[in-house]
Structure 1
Amino acid sequence: MSLLGRASGLLGSAMAPVLPHWLRLRARRGKEVPARLAERRGLDADRPPGPLLWLHGASVGETLSLLPLMRALLERAPALHLLVTTGTVTAATLLAQRLPEALAPRVIHRFAPLDVPRWAETFLDGWRPDGAVFVESELWPNISAALARRGVPAALINARISPRSARLWRWAPGLAREMLSRFRLVVAQSLDDLARLRALGAEGAVFWGSLKAAAEPLPADPAELARLRALIGERPVLFGASTHPGEEQAVLEAHAALRARFPDLLTLIAPRHPARAPEVLALAAPFGAAIQRSAGGLPGRDCDLYLVDTLGELGLFLRLSGVAFVGASLVPKGGHNPLEAARLGCPILIGPHTEHVRELAEALIAAGGARRVQDSATLAEAAADVLSDAGRARAMAQAAATIAEDASHLPGKLASAILDMLPFGTGAMPVARDA
């Protein structure tokens, strides 16, 4: 083990006495579940019999991107159980909501242990996984070392490393190479990420596409969809989806500009973090009558701006929208997944900051499935073009759907590669191979 690897272990052990207090503080702020804090120390294992694969997604996007992979894994390996860990309460909540009923008996959720050597050992002693899969950029020195010592095969999928992170890792090239070498399979989510990962030591890394691009269509409650459609009627609808600070103001200014041409316009805003609702409501006050969904309000005729400050309803409101701006792209956040809108037939507008979804954004724009906007003025202009031309809207939706369909093969390919690295002899696990 490298010198920095040993230092990571010493640091994790030194922090162990302080971390329980930090976890309790997070629990008081709603960022942890008080009754489940033991899981963060690797406790509360309840391993089922037979083969077990550990999957980890830190936050919402990573966790939900695992759903099609989970389905593909369980279809191919009838004896397999999945332990899914998350790092956030929101991710755990949405996983419970979105997990298909048919898969639920074979999926166990826990909150991920913190990267403390003793806690990692406790977690692995209790669960004894036959393999481990991490999503995106979860590089944990102590947990990956513990897996390697036990000979547990590990994969890093949809792997992402930003230019800034890559520059930082170059200050510790030995540790980066050491951690990346522990993964038997590294699948980058973009060609840019592939180049950075290989430069840091993942020489066998491959690029097969983005797992987020292969996500299943977001769900919507049929009864609620029908109720809201009846309330909204034929009104044109602009949706600011998964917005961040700075983007709500642009959507509101676009709303104001569009009202001259579309006087009955309804604008929906779903902040990426619903806890920001009071801030967004204050911003919206000068732009019209704003109604808050979490308070029970509905987008009736008296509503100009509808604040969607609830979890798990993005699919509902994308189905109701005439055009959607996909957030984290007007501000330098890298962009959220635009194919969530594409799969639901909603024309897409995206800002200039799409580094995290560059290939997807470029493919959508090249195919005519999305339009790039730069600010509130170009957002208003593009939205007006789509809302005023049903043929244009249909053409954009069809082009975007084609790009989304191209990504649908990836979960099966990943599932087969992951199952191939597992020690089948430890669980007598029959595997259904693709034809």
Structure 2
Amino acid sequence: IWVHAVSVGETRAAEPLVRALLAQWPEHAVLLTHMTPTGRATSKALFGDEARVLRVYLPYDLGWLARRFLHHFRPSLGVIMETELWPNLLAACRRLQVPTMLANARLSERSARRYARVPALTSLTLGALDAIGAQTAGDAVRLRALGARRVTVTGNIKFDVAPTPAAEARGATFRARIGARPVLLAASTREGEEALLLAAFAQHAPPDCLLALVPRHPQRFDEVAGAVKAAGLGLQRRSDEAEVAASTRVWLGDSMGEMFSYYLAADVALIGGSWLPFGGQNLIEACAVGTPAIVGPHTFNFAKVAEDAVAAGAALRAPDLDAGVRSALALIVDPARRQAVADAGRAFAAADRGATDRTIELLTKLAP
């Protein structure tokens, strides 16, 4: 069974689905394909040396490469995560009779407008899919408007992601290394956000507060380390595997596949990608483990999740990073309010689980 997860976010979202596929079809292996080294590294971190999980890069969307890929691996089923619509690949799947589903599908209004510029190609590409499992009713409406058929609202598989025992143990280890200090986590930050964050943290945070800073992309670890030093803040790296010194103000999370562990070690989290117009990152993991999350104004990639979390009291929204840091620090010194947001986050995450089972149900109908 072939599962395409282009990069880190899609790979992490695919984790519960991959495990369910292995359980549902024990005679099959799962082939995970990626387009980025970070996606491949994430799958390695999640599934380790699991003999039934293979991983390769997906070739570029050229007809002859797509056909060669499918002839070589001969998948019984194809599952494409979220929004990766490759016309030649899907045409080859249809021609070679490989049933293919778009799972955990999301389509923002911005992306829908882009696809609408090439209506014939978009309709043809969506029409090549045998099933679509949309995250929300809004996603389903936008997909149907572009020509998609066989669309079912299955929910967001990311609600089914849970920390493994190893991740929980690692989180406890992180917390032991840090000690009793309050911890503000900046999760999956993007370029341009760190400078604003560091300035706000230096201005507002008390000396005992530790900033755990985890950039989204590993190729930026050294760049962000340089920015911390330029800001005059004491730095340590997670990769040093050392206890965090009292003089350290910023602990750089220079690792892959450990986000749950960072959330478990933190008191409050600022969600990266939402402070500048990148569209935000997934806040469900923070909610699931009871780490209060604060998002910025730019959450269009996760619009419904972010809006629903804020409405449920499971997350807070701030207009900029200066306000975000101040809101986080206010939560840290108010244990009762922090606990209320944590409890609301756990309830919010638990209420929307089940998308994996609904996706498996659709795939069972497609299986030859």
Normalising by structure 1, we get a TM-score of 0.79
Greater Cα radius of gyration, structure 1 or 2 = 1
Counterpart Cα distance in 2 of 1:413 and 1:162:
22
- For structure 1, which runs of at least 5 residues remain unmatched after alignment? 1-52, 424-435
**Residue identity matched to 2:147:** G
Counterpart among 6, 20, 36 of residue 72 in structure 1: 20
TM-superposed CA distance for 1:122, in Å, is 1.4
2:176 counterpart SS class: helix
Counterpart among 92, 95, 103 of residue 149 in structure 1: 95
**Residue identity matched to 1:140:** W
In structure 2, what is the equivalent of residue 273 of structure 1? Answer: 217
Say yes or no: does 1:201 pair with 2:147.
yes
Counterpart Cα distance in 1 of 2:169 and 2:122:
50
1:197-244, Cα deviation, whole Å (9 max, x unpaired): 111101432322212232222665566544443332221111111001
Q: 191-200 or 87-96: which moved more?
A: 191-200
Counterpart Cα distance in 2 of 1:165 and 1:225:
36
2:274 counterpart SS class: coil
2:278 counterpart SS class: coil
Counterpart Cα distance in 1 of 2:362 and 2:291:
33
Query: Are residues 364 and 219 of structure 1, via their aligned partners in 2, closer, same or farther at CA, if it must alter by over 3 Å?
Result: farther
Query: Are residues 374 and 66 of structure 1, via their aligned partners in 2, closer, same or farther at CA, if it must alter by over 3 Å?
Result: same
**Residue identity matched to 2:211:** T
In structure 2, what is the equivalent of residue 169 of structure 1? Answer: 115
Q: How many residues align?
A: 367
Counterpart Cα distance in 2 of 1:167 and 1:323:
35
Give the 5 Å matches for 1:13-412: 53-99=1-47, 104-217=50-163, 220=166, 224-259=170-205, 262-285=206-229, 286-294=231-239, 298-412=243-357
Judge conservation of contact 2:157–2:354 (CA < 8 Å) in 1. no
**Residue identity matched to 2:36:** T
TM-superposed CA distance for 1:160, in Å, is 2.5
Counterpart Cα distance in 2 of 1:249 and 1:267:
13
Judge conservation of contact 2:122–2:146 (CA < 8 Å) in 1. yes
Judge conservation of contact 2:167–2:260 (CA < 8 Å) in 1. no
- For structure 2, which runs of at least 5 residues remain unmatched after alignment? none
**Cα RMSD for the two superposed structures:** 2.0
TM-superposed CA distance for 1:113, in Å, is 2.0
Query: Are residues 164 and 360 of structure 1, via their aligned partners in 2, closer, same or farther at CA, if it must alter by over 3 Å?
Result: closer
Judge conservation of contact 1:253–1:376 (CA < 8 Å) in 2. no
Runs (4+) of structure 1 exceeding 6 A deviation are none
TM-superposed CA distance for 1:415, in Å, is 0.7
TM-superposed CA distance for 1:84, in Å, is 1.5
1:34-74, Cα deviation, whole Å (9 max, x unpaired): xxxxxxxxxxxxxxxxxxx2111111111121111122223
Counterpart Cα distance in 1 of 2:140 and 2:307:
17
TM-superposed CA distance for 1:282, in Å, is 3.0
Judge conservation of contact 2:104–2:154 (CA < 8 Å) in 1. no
Normalising by structure 2, we get a TM-score of 0.93
1:285-331, Cα deviation, whole Å (9 max, x unpaired): 32421223345564211201111122122222211111000111111
Judge conservation of contact 1:214–1:410 (CA < 8 Å) in 2. yes
Query: Are residues 162 and 359 of structure 1, via their aligned partners in 2, closer, same or farther at CA, if it must alter by over 3 Å?
Result: closer
1:233-277, Cα deviation, whole Å (9 max, x unpaired): 221111111001222123213322333xx3311111111012212
